[in-house]
Amino acid sequence: MKVLLAGANGYVGMRLIPILLEKGHEVVCLVSDKKRFQERSNFGHRVTFVTGDLLREQSIEAFPADIEVAYYLVHSMAQSQGFAALEALSAYNFVHALDQTGCRQTIFLSGISNGKSQSKHLESRKHVEDVLKEGKSALTILRAAIIIGSGSVSFEIIRHLTEKLPVMTVPGWVNSRCQPISIRDVLVYLESVMLNEKTFNRSFDIGGPDILTFKEMILGYAQIRQLKRHIITIPFLPSGILSYWLSRTNSFDYAATRNLGSSLKGEIIMHDHSIQDLVPSQCLTYKESLLLAINHIPVENNE
């Protein structure tokens, strides 16, 4: 089957492509820079490319007409200003190009959003969902909270905070509950819903078995690494202070970390468990997810 992947250069896309290739699918990657993709992967010779910038519709090459499934894994969380408008424009241009093909299903990895008060980041994801629904192909939405895996922004923030700060002064949102999920399990779900007609035009929450606060996630990492850590919570501490520290002491983008923190101000846990009826899967626990991620960190990069 021919599969189109937008966001091929991203964290999830780079891990999904080898799985699709192993399953025998023909993978077409939408990229703005083929050279950058080939420098970051060792399977560039096994995929085909269409080039284009989703923010500039005229630059997008025509998608192959025989595309059957499309993954939309594009996010603009690192944009400090106007990222919501950019995400909407990107999704609109993608839908317009995809509608010229015979694609049967679009699969979008979004974020869990609970309650009436949402961060701008989660509001943007919801708006992208609405844009993608206007396309001709059936839409399947998988909504995840924090993804744990070597190289994921969420995991790397937890790792750097815990490794470098014996005593942490943190905002009150660290006591909000979330439901982390291993990147391994995210990939299982992404592949398993492909052309499963029972998932067409539906959305699903996905998450691991543990419901934890961000504080508990930090302490869980510390326990595995046998580190003594103390966390002082100051409810009215601006969340931007933590983002500023991460951006100054590590390679994290300030806007990306601030948007992540804003998302965690509300509870982000599964309320819909129907995915288990269609894709029965024993997801990794948070501890198992951490151990898997830690084992994949190159020795020279592990503090």
pLDDT at site 251: 56
Q: Who has greater pLDDT, 179 or 296?
A: 179
Q: State the pTM of this model.
A: 0.90
What would the pLDDT profile of 10-55 be if each residue is shown by its tens digit?
899 999 999 999 999 999 999 988 888 888 888 888 999 999 999 9
What would the pLDDT profile of 272-290 be if each residue is shown by its tens digit?
999 999 998 899 999 999 9
* Mean pLDDT lowest among 48-52, 61-65, 202-206, 258-262: 258-262
- Specify which of 107-116, 142-151, 251-260 reaches the highest per-range mean pLDDT: 142-151
pLDDT at site 21: 96
Residue range 195-201: mean pLDDT, rounded: 96
> Residue 27 CA to chain centroid, in angstroms?
20
Residue range 221-226: mean pLDDT, rounded: 96
Interatomic CA distance for residues 301 and 303, integer angstroms: 6
What would the pLDDT profile of 131-177 be if each residue is shown by its tens digit?
999 999 999 999 998 999 998 888 988 898 899 889 888 877 788 89
pLDDT at site 111: 87
| Mean pLDDT taken over the chain | 86
Q: What is the set of domains in the chain, with CATH numbers?
A: 2-145+182-207+270-280 (3.40.50.720)
